[in-house]
């Protein structure tokens, strides 16, 4: 059972370009979370999705950022018109169905976005 | 304001020694608390998870404690190894909000020979 997969692992974009980050959850997991980690800072929650639904996007910037988790395929975090401040590590985590207390999140290796 | 604070920010210890990392939180209502280990360049990996009623939980050389009254947790590492060098992150899940998690900024541990 493969773990959470993220690609690309490293992404370089120039200011104004679009960045697309992909996350394939563990098999059987229907919950996906996206986090951003700035250098020397902790992970910050961005968005929580279930298949075809955004459950909580309270941590997502209102502009330029969007996320989706289609019925088929990986979850996508899309950043339009990137700026230097978007440079960070973006982590995806997945968890199985249900919201029990021991519902653990499994993290992917992250995508490191560098905006030139 | 819901917050998770960890101390110390960084720690250097000799191989074989023990250490204790601290986590204080103000997240309410409380659901559970998790400790993660994050190696450089990798995603966090879960070490322990504790609910309100659990005071202590062990995972090998890692022992976590939780005092839900004072909203404090600690992670004790016994007989440290070089491979323990990593960032240790305390994460608190908020109850009744679906799946809202609050992350501490982590303690960077370096084990030297």
pLDDT tier for residue B4 given thresholds of 50, 70 and 90: very high
Q: What is the pLDDT of residue A115?
A: 97
Q: Kindly report, residue by residue over A97-110, the tens digit of the pLDDT.
A: 765 555 678 899 99
The distance of A99 to chain B (nearest Cα, Å) reads 7
Confidence class for position B99, pLDDT limits 50, 70, 90:
low
- Read off the pLDDT band of A28 (50, 70, 90): confident
Determine the Cα–Cα distance for residues A26 and A5; give it in Å rounded to an integer. 8
What is the per-residue pLDDT across B52-81, written as a single tens digit (0 to 9) for each? 888 999 999 999 999 999 999 999 999 999
Is B44 in Cβ contact with A42 (below 8 Å)? no
Ranges A24-33, A35-44, B18-27, B45-54, most confident: B18-27
**Cα-based torsion angle of the residue sequence B23, B28, B33, B34 in order, rounded to the nearest 10 degrees:** -80
Whole-angstrom distance, CA of residue B79 vs CA of residue B84: 10
- What is the average pLDDT across B87-91? 95
pLDDT of residue A51: 87
Backbone angles phi, psi at A84, to 5 degrees: -60, -30
Give me chain A's average pLDDT, please. 90
pLDDT at A25 over 70: yes
pLDDT of residue B108 exceeding 70, the answer is yes
Query: Are the CB atoms for B22 and B74 separated by under 8 Å?
Result: yes
- CB-closest option in B31, B42, B99 to A48: B99
Cα–Cα distances (Å) from A67 to A76, A95, A98, A101, B59, in that order, read 6, 17, 21, 25, 35
What confidence tier does B11 reach under pLDDT thresholds 50, 70, 90?
A: very high
Those of residues 33-72 in B touching chain A at CB distance below 8 A are 34, 36, 41-46, 49, 51
B50 interaction partners in chain A (CB closer than 8 Å): none
A93, pLDDT greater than 80: yes
| Model confidence at A1: pLDDT above 60 | no
Average pLDDT over residues A79-93: 96
Query: CA A5 to CA A110: how far, in whole Å?
Result: 8
The SS3 call for residue B82 is helix
Question: Count of alpha carbons within 13 Å of A30, Cβ hemisphere only?
Answer: 9
Report the percentage of chain A scoring pLDDT > 70.
93
Name the residue in chain B with its Cα closest to that of A5: B43
Residue pLDDT, tens place only, B18-50 = 999 999 999 988 989 999 999 988 889 999 999
For residue A109, the distance in angstroms to the closest alpha carbon of chain B comes to 4
């Amino acid at each position: 059972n493969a773990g959470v997969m993220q690609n690309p692992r490293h992404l370089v974009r120039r200011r104004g370009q679009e960045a697309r980050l992909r996350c394939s959850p563990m098999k059987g997991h229907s919950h996906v979370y996206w986090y951003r980690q700035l250098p020397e800072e902790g992970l910050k929650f961005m968005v929580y999705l279930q298949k075809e639904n955004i459950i909580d996007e309270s941590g997502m910037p209102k502009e330029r950022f969007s996320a989706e988790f289609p019925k088929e395929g990986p979850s996508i975090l899309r950043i339009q018109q990137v700026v230097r401040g978007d440079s960070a590590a973006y982590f995806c985590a997945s968890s199985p169905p249900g919201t029990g207390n021991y519902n653990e999140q499994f993290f992917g290796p992250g995508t490191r976005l560098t905006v030139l | 304001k819901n917050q998770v604070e960890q101390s110390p920010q960084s720690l250097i210890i000799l191989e074989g020694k023990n250490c204790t990392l601290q986590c204080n939180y103000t997240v309410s209502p409380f659901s559970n608390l998790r400790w993660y280990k994050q190696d450089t360049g990798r995603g966090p990996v879960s070490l322990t998870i504790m609910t309100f009623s659990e005071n202590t939980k062990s995972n090998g050389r890692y022992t976590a404690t939780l005092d839900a009254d004072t909203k404090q947790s600690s992670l004790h590492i016994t007989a440290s190894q070089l491979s323990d060098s990593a960032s240790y992150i305390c994460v608190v899940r908020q109850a009744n909000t679906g799946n809202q998690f609050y992350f501490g900024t982590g303690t960077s541990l370096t084990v030297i020979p």
